[in-house]
Amino acid sequence: MGPVGPRSKSTLIRPPIPPSAQPASAAWCHHRAATAWPGPSLAALRGRPLWNTRAMEVFDKRAATKLKDQLHGYFEYILYDVGVYGCQGCYGCQSCCCCCQGRCSFKCLNSGLFFASRYPIMDVAYHCYTNGKGTDGLASKGALFLKVQVGSTLQDQRIVGYITCTHLHALEDDSAVRCEQLDMLQDWLADFRKSTSSSSTANPEELVAFDIVCGDLNFDNCSSDDKLEQQHSLFTRYKDPCRLGPGEEKPWAIGTLLDTDGLNDEDVSTPDNLQKVLESEEGRREYLAFPTSKSPGACQKGRKDVLKGNGRRIDYMLYAEEGLCPDWKAEVEEFSFVTQLSGLTDHLPVAMRLMVSTGEEEA
């Protein structure tokens, strides 16, 4: 496998054990990997198979190594320690200094992105966002692009899928920075698909089954302060299973960011307890983070009348309906908010089961 990208590094683990499960589901997790089969609602599930998982904020190399060792028996391909280090040159002036116009160029942490799969990684690329600001710019946050092979046809055509993992700028009041990063992500993804495609209309060597974008985007679909991101063109290219439109969530969607004040409460100390709490509107109001407001009174009213206790959902799994093999269709069969990692993270992992139907199956 070639290099991940210019001035970048990563580690790919390939144990000799071949994959033993068929592609069934994909999961996005925050901080650590959740072994959960996706379902249509809250779930405290464990011990079910999945074919790939992604994690983030795995900045510490020792933690990454331990996580890799724990997942090694389940996934044949593991990619971790992805990022760049040291002085990278400032965005705009391209000089090798530590900071220019508030944009930090020195990277002391990797991207924190972590990917594990049962199926072969055919191509991979990583790009570091060039507009990081303040303390958030000290980490080499970026986007990890992967092409995996999940099967083949009787005619020896490869069945492949594209997965993009990312972690956007976290600082508040920086909507423009996040939108710039989403612009970069879309451009990089288009280049990645073009450079890794080996098919033509006349001679299709590969059949694209899915195209997924996932990660902590650090904005939600209900905060008035996040309107700019909510209307980004990414959501016209990729579909969000949890939203009806900009600023409007589906009734069953809940926030994925927990209120840190209650993380150690006994009521949410186990997966089953957290699931039980979050199934009630009162529990969600108490333990989920909600959008802030300059008017405290309006904020409280907004929680009751607008948000209905659902909280901030900043962790996403998006899928494309276009750009796949002709006559093939991707649909979400199950979507879950997983409570398995209660007490270990301030985010709720999310999981999705994506089913792909072909024209032959419908005929």
Among 93-107, 137-151, 255-269, the range scoring the smallest mean pLDDT is 93-107
- Is 347 a catalytic site residue? yes
* Contact between residue 125 and residue 5 where contact means Cβ atoms under 8 Å apart: yes
Name the least confident of 104-108, 245-249, 272-276, 342-346: 104-108
**pLDDT the model gives residue 60:** 80
Domains of the chain: 9-362 (3.60.10.10)
**Would you place residue 81 in the very low, low, confident or very high pLDDT band (cuts 50, 70, 90)?**
confident
Predicted confidence at residue 10, as pLDDT, reads 39
The predicted structure's pLDDT at residue 201: 58
46/356 Cα distance (integer angstroms): 24
Please state the φ and ψ torsions of residue 135, each to the nearest 5 degrees. -65, -30
Residue 240: predicted pLDDT: 97
Q: What is the pLDDT of residue 316?
A: 97
What average pLDDT does the segment 156-177 reach? 94
Are the C-beta atoms of residues 71 and 100 closer than 8 Å to each other? no
- 136-164, pLDDT tens digit by residue? 888 889 999 999 999 999 988 999 999 99
pLDDT of 307: 45
Please give the structure tokens belonging to residue 131: 């507009």
- Per-residue pLDDT tens over the stretch 291-329: 875 444 444 434 444 444 489 999 999 999 999 998 899
Neighbouring-strand partners of residue 284? none
Give the pLDDT score at 84. Answer: 80
34 phi and psi angles, rounded to 5 deg: -105, 130
pLDDT value of residue 173: 87
Strand partners for 23: none
Distance, CA of 329 to CA of 361 (rounded, Å)? 11
pLDDT in tens, 189-207: 999 999 998 766 555 789 9
Of 30, 31, 169, 347, catalytic: 347
- pLDDT-derived band at 363, boundaries 50, 70, 90: very low
Q: What is the C-alpha separation between 45 and 213, in angstroms, rounded?
A: 24
> Is the model more confident about 75 or about 255?
255
How many C-beta neighbours within 10 Å does residue 168 have? Answer: 25
> pLDDT value at position 63?
86
242 or 111, higher pLDDT = 242
Instruction: Place 234 in a pLDDT band, splitting at 50, 70 and 90.
Output: very high
- Is the pLDDT score of 335 beyond 70? yes
Please, which pLDDT band fits residue 4 given cuts at 50, 70 and 90? very low
